[in-house]
Amino acid sequence: MKKLILIILTLLIIVMGIYILKIGASERNVTKSGDYETAAEDLKKVMRESLVDNPMEIRLEGHSIKGLYYKVLMDDDMKLYVSEDFIQDILGCAVRRYKSGDIALERGSAKLDFSEGQYRKAGNMIFIPVDSNLNLLDFDVEISFVEHYVDFSAIEGTPAIPSAYDMRKDERVTPVRDQGKYGTCWAFASLGALESSTMPYEESIYSPDHMALSNSYKTPVSAGGDHTMSIAYMAAWQGPVLEKDDPYGDKKTDETLAAAKHLEEAIIINERDDDVIKGAIFRYGGIETSLYFPLEYGEIDSDYYNDAHASYYMDEKHEPNHDIVVVGWDDDYPKESFNNEPKRNGAFICKNSWGTDFGDEGYFYVSYEDPNICTQSVVYTRVAEPDNFDNIYQTDKLGWVGQMGFSDESAYFANVYTAKKDEKLGGVSFYATDKNTEFSVYLVHDFKDTSDFEKKELLVSGGTRYAGYYTAYIPDENVDLKEGERFAVVVFIKTKGAVKPVAVEYKADSRTANVDITDGEGYISQYGKSWIRTEDEQDSNVCLKAFTYERD
C-alpha cells in the first residue's frame, strides 16, 4: 500500500512540476490549469498523510544527519520548519532569543531577523522557516517531497564565525561576582556559563553556595571542584537555585530548595580546538574552562599577568588550577599587550570571579598561545524549565566518575526502576564519553529478570558529535507505565575508538566516598545477550536516568 501511495505521489508531483524545490532559485512564470487549486489541495493532503509514516530527513551536503532533536515540521500550506538545534549544531548559526519574542539567526557577519509568528514553537523548541531567506546566511536548500528530505548546502568561502566576538556587547553575560577566599571558582564558572546560555532572553543569577554545599559529593568548600560535579548536581535536579534563595558566603545552604532549571544537555570539549570553542561560544553561550593561574585571590603582581592591559600569558605547560568563563575572542588582540610576548596576536576574553576590581572590570585576556587554557571545556547547550518532566528516576547522583566496557567501542547498559504511579515515559539521559557517539534507546515493560531484555522495544535512535551529558526525548507520548511496574530503560551506545564507552558512578577516591550503590539495579552487556549486574560485580551504578510525565 505504501509503495502504491509513493508511486501515485511521485507521478502527481512530476506532472505538476514540483518534484524538487530549490529554495532561492530564480522565479519563472507558471500557467495554472482551471482545476489547479483543487488538485493542489488534494496533492498536499496526500503528501501530509505520507509524511506521517515517512518524516522528512535532514541532510547536509547530501549526507543524512542524525541528532537528538533534529526535526522538521510542516504546516497546512506545506511550508517546512527546521529545529533550532540543527540550525545551531550543524549549520553553525547562533539563534538569539529576545524578550520581545523576536529571534535572530547569526552566522559570521550575517544576521536574519524573525518576529513572533514567522517561526514556530513546540514546547521549548523553536522551528525556523525553510525559505529563501536562508540564502542571506549563505545556505542553499533543496527539498524533495517524494524522497522526503530537506538538504542544506553551505556556500563555500563564507566564514561561520567572525574574527572577533564579545558576549558583553550582545548583553549575553551576567554581572561579575566575587568568590572571596573560598575555593568556589568552579561553581562560579559553571553557573556563569549556564546563566549566559539563556541570555539576552532571560537573565537569572544562580547560587554558587548551593552548588558547592548541596551537591552529592559533600566536599568542603575549600576543597574546590570541577565540571563533573557541576553537571552531576544539575543533572540530578539538585540545582541550580536562584542566588536570592541561597545567598553566597554565609556558610549555610538549604538542600530542600527546588531547581529553578533542569539541565538537558552539556557538551564537553575534551581537546583544545579554537574553531570549536569559538563556535560554541558564538552559538550557545560562555564556556566553562580552566587554566593555570599562578596568582592568588586578589593578587596582580606576576611575570605572566599585565595589570595595565588585563592580559595573561603563561608559556609553559602546567596543571590547570583555576576555573573561568570564556565569553569571546579577538584574533587581532596585540601580542605586545602581554608581559611575556607570544609569537602571534589573538586572545580569549575571560570572565573571572574575583570582583570588578580585578582586570578589565572583572575580565581579562588570555593569549591563544597559552597551552593551559581550554584543554577541557564545557558549554551548557540545553536548559529547560523545571516542568519539562514531572518525575526523575536515577541512581547516579555523583554522575560520570569513571567508565566501563568490554575493550570495544560499543556496549549495552540498562537501569531498572519501579513506576511510582501511572506515568508516561518522556525521556532518558546518559553520558557520551567521547565524540562521535551513536545510540539507541529501548524500553522493557514488566521486567522480572535479565531474560526480559530480549523483549526490549526500540524507542529512539540518534547521535552526538561531542562528549557530554544528553537527554533523549521519547517521541511517542503513549509509552505508558503502570504504578508498581518494574521497567528497564536500555541504551546501546557506540563511541568511535572507545574501549569503555559506558559512564558509571563508583567510589574512586575520597571525593567520591559518599557514593551509594545500594539504590540501583544496573546492568551492562557487550552484545545484549549476557548481562552483568553492575552493583554486585562492579561496585558501580550505571549513569542512566529516566524521566516521566504523570498521566491525567
Query: Is pLDDT at 401 greater than 80 in this prediction?
Result: yes
Q: What are the percentages of helix, strand and coil residues in the chain, rounded to 5?
A: 20, 35, 45
pLDDT of residue 30: 42
What is the Cα–Cα distance from 330 to 166, expressed in whole angstroms? 8
What is the Cα–Cα distance from 206 to 229, expressed in whole angstroms? 16
Nearest to 425 by CA among 469, 382, 470, 489: 489
pLDDT per residue over 9-51, tens digit each?
444 444 444 445 555 443 334 443 455 456 555 556 655 555 5
- 512 contacts: CB under 8 Å, gap ≥ 6: 217, 398, 401, 505, 506
Q: Model confidence at 295, in pLDDT bands (50, 70, 90)?
A: confident
pLDDT per residue over 185-227, tens digit each?
999 999 999 999 999 999 999 999 999 999 999 888 778 889 9
Higher-pLDDT residue of 530, 116 = 530
Query: Is pLDDT at 397 greater than 80 in this prediction?
Result: yes
Residue 232 zone, left/alpha/beta (φ > 0; ψ -120 to 50; rest): alpha
Query: Is pLDDT at 2 greater than 80 in this prediction?
Result: no
Mean pLDDT confidence for 519-531: 96
Mean pLDDT confidence for 451-458: 96
Mean pLDDT confidence for 360-364: 97
pLDDT of residue 91: 87
Number of other CB atoms surrounding residue 36 within 10 Å: 12
Q: Directed axis angle between helix 36-53 and helix 2-16, to 10°? A: 140
Residues of the chain with pLDDT > 70, as a percent, come to 89
C-alpha cell at 55: 518524516
Mean pLDDT confidence for 508-523: 92
Beta strands in 307-385, from DSSP E residues, in sequence order: 311-312, 322-330, 347-351, 363-367, 377-384
Q: Model confidence at 312, in pLDDT bands (50, 70, 90)?
A: very high
pLDDT of residue 18: 43
Mean pLDDT confidence for 240-266: 94
Q: Model confidence at 467, in pLDDT bands (50, 70, 90)?
A: very high
Query: Is pLDDT at 342 greater than 80 in this prediction?
Result: yes
pLDDT per residue over 170-190, tens digit each?
999 999 999 998 999 999 999
pLDDT of residue 28: 36
Side-chain-side CA neighbours of 29 within 13 Å: the count stands at 1
Phi, psi dihedral angles at 351 (to 5 degrees): -95, 125
Query: Is pLDDT at 5 greater than 50 in this prediction?
Result: no
To the nearest whole number, what is the mean pLDDT of the chain? 88
Residues of the chain with pLDDT > 90, as a percent, come to 67
Q: Model confidence at 288, in pLDDT bands (50, 70, 90)?
A: very high
C-alpha cell at 349: 576574553
Phi, psi dihedral angles at 403 (to 5 degrees): -135, 155
Nearest to 109 by CA among 65, 144, 161: 161
What is the Cα–Cα distance from 90 to 92, expressed in whole angstroms? 5
pLDDT per residue over 81-102, tens digit each?
999 988 988 888 999 999 899 9
pLDDT per residue over 404-451, tens digit each?
999 999 999 999 999 999 999 999 999 999 999 999 999 999 999 999
pLDDT of residue 7: 46
